[in-house]
Amino acid sequence: MAKTRASRSELSRFESRMKRGTARIGVIGLGYVGLPLAAEFGKAGYRVTGFEIDKKRVATLNAGRSYIQDVPTREVRDLVRAGRLRATLDFDQLRQMDAIDICVPTPLRKTRDPDVSFIVSAVQEIVPRLRRGQLVVLESTTYPGTTDELVRPLLEARGFRAGKDFFLAFSPERIDPGNAKFQTRNIPKVVGGTTADCTRAVTTLYEAVIDRVVPVASTQVAETVKLLENTFRSVNIGLVNEVALMCDKMGIDVWEVIQAAATKPFGFMPFYPGPGLGGHCIPVDPFYLSWKARQSGFEARFIELAGQVNGNMPFHVARRVAEALNSQRKSVRGAKILLLGVAYKADIDDVRESPSLDIMETLEKEGAKVEYCDPYVPVLNHGTGGHRGKRFTPATLRAADCVVIATAHKVFDYGLISKHARTIVDCRNALQGRRERGVFRL
């Protein structure tokens, strides 16, 4: 009973500070996940401190400027001026926080094994500064068991106990960059704690800023939720990419097939083929799940197969470029290729894991001169060196031997592309019947 009373006492104090609006919120990692979350807490009236190792980010944020497309500079400026948002390199200030959100990257190693080194580094910063009553929440996408099997032992190393002295939970981020309809506040927040009191504490935290909080039974369930969501997308995209390749061999228009199938009011959800997967989540998260499955002696064959299909799509695009050039009696070597779009999806500036980068690298290795045009990404450091984007003009389109529509930004004038490009590889069905001759699709 003593343990329960101690836990309830700390829990009551935490809940009280949250309800009064006096709780201090710390966010470790101010990237695509951390900064929008920090801004939401700031807008709700809480004092938020962002912890970073990037000096440039700290200086930019404290000057009232945003570097994340989904968080307007106006919003950051107002929060900084009101004293509700600031960034620091000083991790000693973690001692002052009532809640600490860990929002750091979780990439894959080249062997497709999880790289949780950023999580470990963040937790090691917390350990010597951990105090009673604090809530620690891991938001970084990771394999099931990370919170309880990795994070918890590190935090408990000095004698504190999760659920008694401090609270520990996992809540998967669900950010969709560039989505104007669904953003941090109105995306339901799944939460799972290491104990019932931990779940209650993390629910209290997010109910202050999120429209709907969805508690689940454990951290492992919460961790698996995010992986299932993105594995679902990866597998279905892999399926439709394979169907696209199959339809190409049989001379069938896969886009018309999908459009017609989507008229069924039940039992079908349309997914669309493309040049490959991009972003930090869908190309990465399924392999966290398959890696954990292997540790349990289970082979996740759907996940691995989808990864192979999706991973090969950039090379398929490169082959289509070769076919398009052959139609002009040109070879890839020495050809001028213009990529339209290097962001991983339309209308954003995020190039993480973008298939355009693989397409560019493959064509450059084959001797092509590759340039790109992307109004959201004026400068790109990749492959053989830095690239500066070309202006989107008729002259730029005409100068290319082949134009590749890799990202269907709305700002591109597709009528202009259809009129001035000699040969086009349309990876997104962006032209939609504007022109047939000289257009090669997936």
Collect all residues with Cβ–Cβ distance below 8 Å to 333 and sequence separation of at least 6. 366, 367, 368
CA 363/CA 357 separation, integer angstroms: 10
Of the candidates 281, 373, 402, 427, the residue annotated as catalytic is: 281
DSSP 156: T
Q: In 3D, which of 231, 321, 306 has the Cα closest to residue 276?
A: 306
Quote the radius of gyration of the chain (alpha carbons, Å).
24
* Contact by Cβ (8 Å): 390, 373: yes
Instruction: Judge contact between 274 and 310, C-beta under 8 A.
Output: no
Cα–Cα separations (whole angstroms), residue 413 to 37, 362, 434: 34, 27, 12
Would you mind telling me the total number of residues written for the chain in this entry?
442
User: Of the candidates 304, 308, 335, 352, which has an alpha carbon nearest to the alpha carbon of residue 404?
Assistant: 335
Q: What is the DSSP string of 270-316?
A: -----S---SSSTTTHHHHHHHHHHHTT---HHHHHHHHHHHHHHHH
Q: Is 427 within 8 Å of 413 (Cβ atoms)?
A: no
CB-based contact 48:42 (threshold 8 Å):
yes
Q: Residue written as tokens 């032209």? A: 431
Closest CA to 65 of 30, 89, 90, 100: 30
CB 425 within 8 A of CB 328: no
CA distance 433 to 413: 15
Q: Contact at 8 Å (CB) between 324 and 440? A: yes
Structure tokens at 20: 């009064």
DSSP 326-380: HTTT--STT-EEEEE--SSSTT----TT-HHHHHHHHHHHTT-EEEEE-TT-SEE
Residues 240 and 248: their CA atoms lie apart, in Å, by 12
- The question of whether 281 is a catalytic residue gets the answer yes
| Cα 358 to Cα 36: distance, rounded to the nearest angstrom | 29
Residue 135 is which amino acid? L
Name the residues annotated as catalytic.
281
